[in-house]
Amino acid sequence: MTEDSQRNFRSVYYEKVGFRGVEEKKSLEILLKDDRLDIEKLCTFSQRFPLPSMYRALVWKVLLGILPPHHESHAQVMMYRKEQYSDVLHALKVIRFVSEATPQAEVYLRMYQLESGKLPRSPSFLLEPEDEVFLAIAKAMEEMVEDTVDCYWIIRCFVNQLKNKHRDALPQLPKAFEQYLNLEDSRLLGHLKTCSAVSRLPYDLWFNRCFAGCLPESSLQRVWDKVVSGSCKILVFVAVEILLTFKIKVMALNSAEKITQFLENIPQDSSDAIVSKARSDIAQASFSSSIGS
């Protein structure tokens, strides 16, 4: 038996007995053993496969630029990151912007605001829409990343990536969503248009917040694997798959308000299947580069 046929046999066997990701995990471990991590290969892996939980934080930190590709520098760089975290947190406590009672997600927000020069004059000032997005992402990230220093840096760089790398792509996602839904189920799209719901769908929740607060973290992190590795197309596919999964329910609703309210609070028990189908669809579909790469 050739090496390729042996690998294919093992893959089929592992999938049948419930260990579908064994081969993928081994491939990732090989990539992570390189003295200088190959960013392009890590991105490609993250686009094709969900990251194993035990390696997710490390891969995210490398892809987001928190850690350099060279292993030998990781400890020292994280020491600097920790010192910066402590200095910023201390400054906020001195000016009494945060305290021990401040929720952790809000602490992250105030740290981000201070570092970006956007800290308001008082903690009582109303939050801006972009602050609400940051808080939603931060609350979700808290459930994924245990270490507070790692968590802050990942949130910080994830949000910056959305603002910079995906800045031009995100506003185009509603249009791409409508186009793809039309291909998948034109009747469903027609119903949304009849109810004047298309423009009132929860695009902010889906695209600006990247489904934070919509999907449980166990499913959300698999979506964010793709966003972190450079593609926001997955957000469109997840949104479409949500509509297709709950088509019967949506078709039974006859107002934009009811449809939007339902989509903002979808049943959580279907989320894993929705994300798996969306990841499968994006691997097969050919999309215009105008909605992100």
Q: What is the pLDDT along the chain (293 residues), one digit of tens a residue?
A: 444 444 444 444 344 434 455 678 899 999 999 889 999 999 999 998 989 999 999 999 999 999 999 999 999 999 999 999 999 999 999 999 999 999 999 999 999 999 999 999 999 999 999 999 999 999 999 999 999 999 999 999 999 999 999 999 999 999 999 999 999 999 999 999 999 999 999 999 999 999 999 999 999 999 999 999 988 999 999 999 999 999 999 999 999 999 999 999 999 889 999 999 998 878 665 444 444 44
Residue 102, CA distances (Å) to 78, 108, 110 in order: 25, 10, 10
Task: Say what the pTM is.
Answer: 0.88
- Please give the single-letter amino acid code of residue 128: E
Q: Give the residue among 209, 217, 263 at the shortest CA–CA distance from 241.
A: 263
| Tokens 């960013």, located at residue | 39
* C-beta separation of 157 from 66 below 8 A: yes
CA distance 216 to 143: 9
**Distance from C-alpha of 244 to C-alpha of 15, rounded to nearest angstrom:** 26
**CATH code, residues 19-165:** 1.10.8.680
DSSP assignment of 95-109 equals: TTS--TTS-HHHHHH
Sign of the torsion angle spanned by Cα atoms 246, 250, 252, 258:
positive
Determine contact, residues 243/182, Cβ cutoff 8 Å: no
Q: Is 31 left (phi over 0), alpha (psi -120 to 50) or beta?
A: alpha
Establish whether domains 19-165 and 170-292 are of one fold: no
Distance in angstroms (rounded) separating the CA atoms of residues 39 and 127: 36
Question: Is 24 exposed, middle or buried, given 0-12, 13-18 or 19+ CB atoms closer than 10 A?
Answer: middle
Q: What is the CATH number of domain 170-292?
A: 1.10.472.80
Domain boundaries, the chain: 19-165, 170-292
**pLDDT the model gives residue 193:** 97
Give the phi and the psi of residue 124 in degrees, each rounded to 5: -80, -10
Which residue is it, tokens 């201070």?
114
The pLDDT value recorded for residue 274 is: 95
Report the greatest alpha carbon distance in the chain: 70
SS3 215: strand
* Residue 30 CB burial class (10 angstroms; 0-12, 13-18, ≥19): exposed
Q: Are 104 and 148 in contact (CB under 8 A)?
A: yes
The dihedral through the CA atoms of 248, 253, 257, 258 has a sign that is: negative
Report how far residue 163's alpha carbon sits from residue 124's, in angstroms, rounded to the nearest whole number: 25
Q: Tokens 């039974």 appear where?
A: 252
Bridge partners of 212, per DSSP, are 215
